[in-house]
């Protein structure tokens, strides 16, 4: 066997084009993004070299912090294995993962690319770089906007970005930030406590940093957003990396503790509106987290799906056992529902991403959809990787095969960009203060009015979502928070089921309608599948057997 095919001994999904075999993704994009550029080249890369190198970096070649040069100079730089650096540069330059939103393309192209990359560490490096480009492109000065070209691969060398908001005393509570910005002789300097979870530490050429301008009020509304370059104007190191974190996964992204001691900085936009820029930036990254989670889930699914077609047990293939069919059905239904939800969130963001504060109802609805998608997709990733490991049995637990890594990677996704508790609290805020749930009610009602097939599923959705919203409206603050994650789940599952039924109508694909029914039964009604699902399972989970695009 050729040397470049050896990894196929370890992986059932290696060597396949991960865009071409993903029929549900292709079919959904026909509706949500019909003008999307050809993603087959990235799909081929994602299923071969990228997949193999992601595994190699995790097991063998993690980034390393280099503190001192051989000449005794303090540099706080990051060494990347050449294979990882090559992959990142190809993704940014050749596959243009971060370019489309700034050069006339759509956000779908960026987020579907993150899905295909499906390594959270590599995707984190790309996402942080994109977040930096987003803030500079939208709110930066003319000079700051000029930096975007290097962040999206239009100039040499490729530059990397970062977002450093988290401090040890606050975590997700940005209002507790203590890092301060002060201006002396016309120069802004950042000083204060360490940014405690700082991904791309040492790698970032430009970092977005939250800091409180001296004299600004306490709390989140007193924060500004600042650009901190790696080097000062006279070429010295502008920040220090105390250490890199030893992580269970996402090892391909260097995450460390960054010390900002009189670091040179520039304000991005109006310092008094920093909290709005920060929350916008989080919306961008939460969508990326959603698609990274879905990509991990799909990779794990593919590993299990192709494995059970060849493995035999008790005299027949695993895939012919009803219980295995049930496991695959559960996973496929969950992935498709959460994928439809995430694509709908991107569609809403696409409509309003140019808005600046004060925002419209469309933007607040994009926020609500993002909270639903981020929470649901993270849950799906963790559950899919766990079940896929179980389908491989003991092999799934061995480090030499990909599923063990994919499961480790999945476990950070409910934590990154705000855990489920934060998503639930932010959901309450956008409902109570912005009434964003009214747009959701309208979308669900519109779907119900247009439904023929699948009306039974939408009736279940209507009942459960209305009950959840009525309970929320009647609750005091403590009760609303106590049940907030339930509300988050009910609304997310309800819209996911609705979108699947709608896709069946829009695309003329009865298969999506059936998946929507099964989704409503399993995840909205929390009931058992009908017996007919056993016969339908083979068609539903045979994702690479779907008719090609345009058929």
**Could you read off the pLDDT of 173-215 as tens digits, one per residue?**
999 999 999 998 889 999 987 899 999 999 999 999 999 999 9
For 99-236, strand residue ranges (E) read 161-164, 180-184, 187-191, 195-199, 206-213, 224-229
At residue 180, the 3 state secondary structure works out as strand
Give pTM, 2 decimals.
0.97
**Arithmetic mean of pLDDT over the chain:** 95
Same structural domain, 118 and 260: no
Q: Is residue 68 part of a domain?
A: no
Instruction: Please give the tally of structural domains in the chain.
Output: 3
The CATH number assigned to the domain holding 399 equals 1.20.140.10
As a whole-number percent, the residues of the chain with pLDDT over 70 amount to 98
Give the pLDDT band (50/70/90) at residue 550.
very low
First to last CA, the chain: 36
Question: CA-to-CA distance for 162 and 232, rounded, in angstroms?
Answer: 17
Residue 263 DSSP label: E
Mean pLDDT, residues 246-273: 97
| Dist. CA 295–CA 308, nearest whole Å | 20
The pLDDT tens digits of the residues spanning 424-469 come to 999 999 999 999 999 999 999 999 998 889 999 999 999 999 999 9
Same domain as 289, residue 253: no
- Whether 156 maps to a domain, the answer reads no
Max CA pair span of the chain: 80
Residue 172 three-state SS = coil
Q: Do 539 and 488 share a domain, yes or no?
A: yes
Pair 80, 60: CB distance under 8 Å: no
Of 96, 127, 151, the one marking the end of a domain is 151
2: CB partners within 8 A, 6+ apart: none
Looking at 208, 236, 271, the residue that finishes a domain is 271
- Please give the average per-residue pLDDT across 318-333, as a whole number: 95
Q: Is residue 550 assigned to a domain? A: no
Domain that holds residue 116: 3-62+81-151
In a domain, 67, yes or no: no
Residue 338: inside a domain: yes
Indicate whether 99 and 194 sit together in one domain. no
Name, in order, each residue with C-beta under 8 angstroms of 96's C-beta and a sequence gap of 6 or more. 109, 152, 153
Residue 3 pLDDT > 50: no
- Asked if residue 527 and residue 379 are part of one domain, the reply reads yes
CA 74 centroid distance within chain: 35
Within this chain, do residues 234 and 308 fall inside the same structural domain, yes or no?
no
Tell whether 98 and 242 lie within a shared domain: no
Is the same domain home to 405 and 531?
yes
Helix (H) or strand (E) holding 74: strand 74-79
Q: Are residues 416 and 454 in the same domain?
A: yes
Could you tell me how far CA 91 lies from the centroid of its own chain? 17
Asked whether the beta carbons of 319 and 340 are under 8 A apart, the reply is no
| Domain annotation covers residue 75 | no
In a domain, 71, yes or no: no
* Domain CATH number, residue 214: 2.40.110.20
pLDDT at position 183: 94
Both 199 and 307 in a single domain? no
Residue 4 pLDDT: 65
| Residues 347 and 366 reside in one and the same domain | yes
Q: Which of 232, 250, 271 is the last residue of a domain?
A: 271
In a domain, 74, yes or no: no
**Kind of pairing, strands 180-184 and 206-213?**
parallel
- Whether the predicted pLDDT of 549 surpasses 50: no
Determine the pLDDT at residue 408: 98
Q: Read off the pLDDT of residues 376-422 as tens digits, 9 standing for 90 and up.
A: 999 999 999 999 999 999 999 999 999 999 999 999 999 999 999 99
Q: Are residues 266 and 280 in the same domain?
A: no
Asked whether the predicted pLDDT for residue 9 surpasses 70, the reply is yes
């Amino acid at each position: 066997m050729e040397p470049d095919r050896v990894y196929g001994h370890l992986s059932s999904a290696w060597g396949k084009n991960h865009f071409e075999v993903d029929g549900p993704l292709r079919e959904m994009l026909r509706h949500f993004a019909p003008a999307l550029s050809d993603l087959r080249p990235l799909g081929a890369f994602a299923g071969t070299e990228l997949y193999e190198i992601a595994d190699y970096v995790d097991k063998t070649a993690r980034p390393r912090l280099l503190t001192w040069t051989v000449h005794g100079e303090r540099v706080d730089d990051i060494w990347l294995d050449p294979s990882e650096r090559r992959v990142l540069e190809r993704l940014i330059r050749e596959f243009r993962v971060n370019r489309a939103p700034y050069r006339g393309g759509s956000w779908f192209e960026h987020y579907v690319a993150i899905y295909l990359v499906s390594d959270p560490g590599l995707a984190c490096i790309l996402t942080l770089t994109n977040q930096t480009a987003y803030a500079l492109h939208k709110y930066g000065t003319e000079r700051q906007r000029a930096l975007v070209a290097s962040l999206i691969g239009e100039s040499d060398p490729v530059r990397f970005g970062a977002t450093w908001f988290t401090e040890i005393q606050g975590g997700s509570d940005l209002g507790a930030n203590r890092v301060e910005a002060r201006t002396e002789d016309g120069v802004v300097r950042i000083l204060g406590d360490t940014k405690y979870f700082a991904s791309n530490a040492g790698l970032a050429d430009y970092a977005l940093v939250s800091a409180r301008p001296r004299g600004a009020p306490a709390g989140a509304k007193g924060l500004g957003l600042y650009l901190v370059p790696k080097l000062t104007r006279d070429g010295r190191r502008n920040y220090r990396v105390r250490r890199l974190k030893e992580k269970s996964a996402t090892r391909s992204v260097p995450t460390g503790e960054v010390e900002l001691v009189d670091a040179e900085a520039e304000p991005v936009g109006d310092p008094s509106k920093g909290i709005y820029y920060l929350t916008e930036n989080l919306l961008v990254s939460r969508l990326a987290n959603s698609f990274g989670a879905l990509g991990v889930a799909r990779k794990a699914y593919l590993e299990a799906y192709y494995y059970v077609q060849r493995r035999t047990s008790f005299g027949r293939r695993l895939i012919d056992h009803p219980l295995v069919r049930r496991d695959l059905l559960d996973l496929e239904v969950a992935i498709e529902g959460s994928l439809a939800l995430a694509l709908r969130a991107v569609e809403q963001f696409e409509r309003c991403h140019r808005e600046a504060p004060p925002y419209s109802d469309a933007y607040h609805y994009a926020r609500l959809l993002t909270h639903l998608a981020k929470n649901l997709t993270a849950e799906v990733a963790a559950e899919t990787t766990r079940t896929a490991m179980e389908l491989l049995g003991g092999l799934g637990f061995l480090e030499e095969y990909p599923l063990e890594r994919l499961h480790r990677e999945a476990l950070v996704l409910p934590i990154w960009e705000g855990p489920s508790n934060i998503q639930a609290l932010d959901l309450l805020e956008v409902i109570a203060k912005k009434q964003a749930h009214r747009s959701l009610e309208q979308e669900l009602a519109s779907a119900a009015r247009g439904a023929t097939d699948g009306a039974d599923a939408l009736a279940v959705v209507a009942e459960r979502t209305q009950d959840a919203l009525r309970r929320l409206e009647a609750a005091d603050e403590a009760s609303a928070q106590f049940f907030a994650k339930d509300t988050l789940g009910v609304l997310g599952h309800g819209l996911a089921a609705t979108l699947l039924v709608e896709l069946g109508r829009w695309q003329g694909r009865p298969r999506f309608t059936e998946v929507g029914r099964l989704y409503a039964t399993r995840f909205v009604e929390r009931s058992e599948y009908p017996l007919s699902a056993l016969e339908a399972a083979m068609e539903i989970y045979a994702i690479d057997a779907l008719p090609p695009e345009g058929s």
